[in-house]
Chain A
Amino acid sequence: MKKFKIPHKFQFTNLITLYAQWIREGRLKVNSDWNKDLKIKFTVQDPCNLVRKTWRQEMADDLRFVVKTIVGEENFIDMVPSGINNYCCGGGGGALQAGYTEQRRAYGKVKFDQIMETGAQYVLAPCHNCHSQIEDIGHHYGGKYHVAHIWTFMCLALGVLGENERKYLGDDLKDFGL
């Protein structure tokens, strides 16, 4: 809207910002108790569009605050580098639809290595392109990690995740809390 100078009356925000705000305000009463004994390890992808290109470090900080709240600080392992210096997953800019599959996967090898280095069992990817690309490079390079949306673990932690809402969970969590 800025690019084309289109005037608008509404404010624009992102779901991650709201999650963080709702947790801070006490409206979203969620914690990491579910993972206290399981100790499942998580990392998070900073989507370029959300972090580097739009809301910068503030978004990276909110994203970590939200994820640590729901999985436990001790179960969160960051990628290096991350935040505004994070590597793109390689699925952005239309790359998933551009038809250059071999090059897209070569690009994604950087991200794959970063994820493997964390040792995390789950990668939370709050962007559908990142989600698809990180799954694809995981399959391609033989990674064992799962890729999931944040809302899946938010609901798991709240104890309200339905049986049919677990497509991206591993067998370890298919029945958890049901």
Chain B
Amino acid sequence: MSLPIELNEMTPDFKESVKEKVPTANFDLCLTCGTCTAGCPASELFDMDPRKLVRMLVLGMDEEVLKTPWAWVCTMCTRCVNACPMKVDIPKLVYNMRNSWPRDKRPKGIRGSCDQHIRAGNAMGVPTDDFIWTVEDVAEEIRESQPQFEDLLVTVDRKGAYMAVNQNSREPVTEPEELGPLWKILHTVKADWTYPSVMWAGENYCLFLADDEGWRYILEEFVSHIDNTLKCPLVVNTE
């Protein structure tokens, strides 16, 4: 038999801690209308949905909130807060739920990609020299096999280029033949561009892992390389 919830035995400590980090999260303003849940593809997975999660948070059911694996099936897509009449920031709640998991208990796949990115500058963990070799090899093949691109210029770390382009590391690593079409387009419009060698990949698994420190480190290294070494006035993300 279900028992009534004893409200006075509950202390919403986790809610207060998230509110300190995200003052605009508005958890207490939730109208319980369910707009979030109606439009969320993750509703019902692991017996959870966004509206229920906010109720549990506000009621102080911290233990349940902090252990549900739903934190990792919600994709923080922000469709809920986009539609919410009170702008209850459920995605930032989920980010902080993820952040509350001990780092070694967070999903191995996401953690591994974040660690690789911190170490090697890309989530695939590919050494920078291999990335440069792949880029030069693919470019050479295009120059040799397609006469209209015989003067195709593809560079890494060309100082003073107008655009620095970063790209998902799965492209050069697992499908290098997908690099060519992008380069041909850039060549056609006579873009003045280069790849950076530092933190060159476009993905960001430390964000997904909710690893603030790792995320910040990647960005700082990237910004410093672009601003101080390459001095590119424009950064272009391909996704």
> Which residues of A are at the interface with B, using a C-beta cutoff of 8 A?
1, 3-4, 6-15, 18-19, 22, 27-28, 47-50, 52-53, 84-88, 90-100, 103-104, 106-111, 126-129, 149, 151-152, 154-155, 158, 160-162, 164-165, 167
B203, closest chain A residue (CB)? A128
Q: Is the CB of B185 within 8 A of A155?
A: yes
8 example contacts (A-B, Cβ-Cβ < 8 A) are as follows A4-B215, A27-B190, A48-B75, A53-B78, A100-B69, A109-B41, A127-B239, A162-B177
B145, chain A: closest CB distance, angstroms:
7
Q: Is the CB of A10 within 8 A of B233?
A: yes
Q: Is the CB of B237 within 8 A of A94?
A: no
Bound complex: CA of A70 vs CA of B205, how far in Å? 32
- Residues from chain B with a CB closer than 8 A to the CB of A96 are 109
- From A47, A104, A110, A151, contact of B181 by CB (8 A): A151
**What is the total number of residues of chain B having a CB less than 8 Å from a CB of chain A?**
63
Bound complex: CA of A98 vs CA of B205, how far in Å? 11
Q: A28-B188, A94-B72, A160-B148 are in contact. Are A11 and B77 (CB under 8 A)?
A: no
Q: A11-B234, A52-B82, A165-B177 are in contact. Are A1 and B76 (CB under 8 A)?
A: no
Bound complex: CA of A22 vs CA of B79, how far in Å? 31
Q: Is the CB of B239 within 8 A of A161?
A: no
A47, closest chain B residue (CB)? B239
Q: Is the CB of A91 within 8 A of B75?
A: yes
- Residues from chain B with a CB closer than 8 A to the CB of A49 are 239
Top-8 shortest CB links A-B: A94-B208, A97-B109, A88-B77, A93-B75, A92-B75, A151-B181, A128-B168, A110-B41
